[in-house]
Structure 1
Amino acid sequence: MVDFPGYSLPGVAASFFFMLLTMKQSEDFRVIGPAPRILARVGEDALLTCQLFPERSAEHMEVRWYRSAPSTHVLFAHRDGAEVSEMQAEEYRGRVEWVEHDLAKGSVALKMHNIQPSDDGQYWCRFQEGDYHGETSLLLQVAGLGSAPHIHMEGSVAGEIQLVCTAEGWFPEPRVHWEDSRGEKLLSLSEHHVPHEDGLFHVEATLVVRNASTETVSCSIHNPVLTEEKGTVFFIPEKLQTELGK
């Protein structure tokens, strides 16, 4: 028999048995989601779902949805068949709704109402049973299609005119595209994306036109997440076209 200094054989066996039990427990279940990314528009609702795999009951488990850390920024916590309201972060009170898909099969969902730009980001769904937990994450991408752009003339000097394109209520930061009457791309002189208190962006882009043959200029605001855009056309008066040619 081999002796281990400081250890008894029963103690080594117990430790080994505990390691096996822990390994078995860690493989007991894992948490999966429907997709790594969910898209939601500003002002609408979003449904966050997760599921135990393999399928099993979660009725005796704690289920927690959170953002940065499981003990802080908690959207919702559910334990022993009831909400744990004292854990919920203030900004989510009244905005999230527990949707019990089928706890007996380990399927849960959380509905977020009135999606805001600040909701954009990563979320975690966590199941806990005793000392063991499993979790999965998903990305909630928030997008807002704002107002159609408006073009106005800021001023004109000999040989050039200055146009400004503005739009409100876009998220995330949109892209601005200028084109002339021939469909050629034009570069902005300057471009500013200013967030309001609600997180939506005010867009302002300035263009200088020097080509006398330019009859119209269009400005398009493009949302990179929705791959949608809104545009408008500005008709340059003949008098200004003539002045550009001088």
Structure 2
Amino acid sequence: MCCRLFLVSALLSYFTGNSLVHGPPEMVLAFAGEDVILPCSYNITGSDDFPTVEWSKEGLQPNVIFLYRDGCETHEMKNPSFQYRTSFISKELKNRNISLRISNVQLSDAGKYQCMRLWKNAPRDITTVELVVGAVSEPKLSVVSAESAGVTLQCEADCWLPEPEIKFLDDQGHDIPARDPKRRQHASGCYTVTRRVTLQDATSSVACRVQQPQINQTRNTEILIPVGGEKGSLTRQSSDESTLSSAYDEKPLLQSIRIDRPDSVGNNAIERLTREVADLKSKLHQKQMIILRLQSDNRSPLNPAVPTMLLEERGGSRSERKCRDEAVGLSLTCWWDRMQLTPFCLMLSCLRVSPDRSQFFRYDSISLSCEHQSNSTGWKVKRKTTGGGVRPCSSGWGSTSSGSSCIIGNTYPSDSGVYWCESEDGQRSNSVNITITDRTVILESPVLPVSEGAAVILRCKAETNSSDHMFNYYKDDRSISSNSTGEMTIHSVSKSDEGLYKCSITGGGESIGSWMAVDGSLPPSSSAPSDSTSYFHHRLMCHLVVGAPYLLSTILLGLIYKDRKRAARTVAERGGSNTVIMEIVV
């Protein structure tokens, strides 16, 4: 099939304003197996920022088919049915052309699409495009019987969409009366139509014409019938008389690339390839483990006074991270699964999240920064997500103006994961669990552990504001409070307040749960642990905890030295005496 692209309306259109486009969607026609371009663009704005571009399909879950953010495509959010089939036209991006190319169009691709532009400091722009997918094939004309009563022919149009019409024409181009057509709809949605005709009048040829007026497609095939209608002497000819009444016929906008594949692959070959892939995966895993062991063996602190960070697995899925100062044998433990933040880990570096909460709606913005006691240079924000693995900021997610900070302009559920700061030599800060949800309700609770005695405010927030909401709060799935303000205050937090909190809005949905950790080692304060004064107190305590062993050791050594010096002087003074002095040194 020749590659053709038929557009019902203009390719590109510009939109201004700050809301959805409520007019009729732009119509685009494509054929199964070919490529199509869905038009979209944007006007010049007050800044040179390139917007976040989200292409989505109505009725699809997940609905994102292409997401361009922070200068590259984000693959984690893409619907699997569009994997490797959607892309931008790279050379057109500089012209503010963000049209989407869909390769190898499927019948199921038909529907309404949205091109949404998300700006940092401006409302969203949305363009709607409706894709109509047609399917055509060459008709098959065959002889069913050639008896004395006449020659019976059958014409079959396989997998057409929309359903086509079938006509028979004689050698003069006149219609030949035929039987009613039979139709069968495939699971993919296309139709196979067959129709038969028995020739009563003499004709030298019969043509089968399959046509679909809605998509302006016509296919013809012809069979020659010799005089007398002898059996076995029929010949067949086919012709493609497709008609495309479009200005783009002479210069098609897009040519498709067709790759012929074998119809079948032997089971033995499939089994062999499966074994080879499994073997390669095993070898790759072994090499990765060897690299990790070598990195672990070769890692040593440049300065003995600098703590060494060790990561240990402790049964099941629970892991603990030890911060060890080998010079004094001081060991503190940080439990990662509850985000417990000890003073020593705080002293090295701390990840700050703004706004100070762990739950976010889709399209919210998050600012992440690494704070260090002396200098944050060399520290980078990293994360681990289900679909993206471990990656630093600006490697497919987030943008940074300095190495120690990161901004996610428009969040998506694929951004949910564990975030932390990491230095060049592999030291890590505290970890923070961040969740981006498509639910209509979130619970705003502190990201970092709170100190005993501090006041904490929990806020239940709906995606759409309303004044008649009733808010319900739960701890460990038990109802603890209800009000109409959307806020619940714990005036003096204690260890018993630690737990899993969530909230719901009557008739408006429920949030996911967030763990609130309480650290008794942190000094109490009148605000949440994100307060700068509380953080200063944490660091002061860190200095005292780490410096105390050094101070005690120095004092002890001084006392021992002074005592031995006094003993030596006493021995010298009694050097001429016969008195025997026995000193017992403990």
TM-score, length of structure 2 as denominator length? 0.31
1:230/1:212 CA distance change after superposition, 3 Å: closer
Residue 91 of structure 1 aligns to a residue whose secondary structure is helix
Indicate yes or no: 2:153 matched with 1:141.
no
Q: Superposition RMSD on alpha carbons, in Å?
A: 3.5
Matches within 5 A, 1:1-246: 27-28=17-18, 36-53=26-43, 55-56=44-45, 59=49, 61-68=51-58, 72-100=62-90, 106-129=96-119, 132-154=123-145, 156=147, 158=149, 161-196=151-186, 201-209=191-199, 211-224=200-213, 225-235=215-225, 238=228
Q: How many aligned residue pairs are there?
A: 209
- Tell whether the 8 Å contact from 1:64 to 1:76 is kept in structure 2 after alignment: yes
Uncovered stretches (5+) of structure 2, i.e. residues with no partner: 1-15, 231-586
- Tell whether the 8 Å contact from 1:181 to 1:217 is kept in structure 2 after alignment: yes
Name the structure, 1 or 2, with higher relative contact order (CA <8 Å, separation 6+).
1
Distance in 2 (alpha carbons) for counterparts of 1:162 and 1:58: 69
1:194/1:71 CA distance change after superposition, 3 Å: closer
| CA drift at 1:63 | 1.4
- Tell whether the 8 Å contact from 1:168 to 1:203 is kept in structure 2 after alignment: yes
| CA drift at 1:89 | 1.2
| CA drift at 1:219 | 0.9
- Tell whether the 8 Å contact from 1:38 to 1:138 is kept in structure 2 after alignment: yes
Matched AA of 2:164 = P
Matched AA of 1:107 = N
Percentage identity across aligned positions? 23
Matched AA of 2:210 = I
Residue 189 of structure 1 aligns to a residue whose secondary structure is coil
- Tell whether the 8 Å contact from 2:208 to 2:222 is kept in structure 1 after alignment: yes
Matched AA of 1:133 = R
| CA drift at 1:41 | 3.3
- Tell whether the 8 Å contact from 1:58 to 1:103 is kept in structure 2 after alignment: no
Per-residue Cα deviation, 1:131-181 (whole angstroms, up to 9, x for no partner): 8322122233333441243222246574x5532112435444322111223
Q: Could you say which structure has the higher strand fraction? A: 1
Per-residue Cα deviation, 1:92-137 (whole angstroms, up to 9, x for no partner): 0111123345667643122211122222333221123368322122
Distance in 2 (alpha carbons) for counterparts of 1:47 and 1:189: 41
Uncovered stretches (5+) of structure 1, i.e. residues with no partner: 1-25, 241-246
Distance in 1 (alpha carbons) for counterparts of 2:42 and 2:159: 39
- Tell whether the 8 Å contact from 1:149 to 1:220 is kept in structure 2 after alignment: no
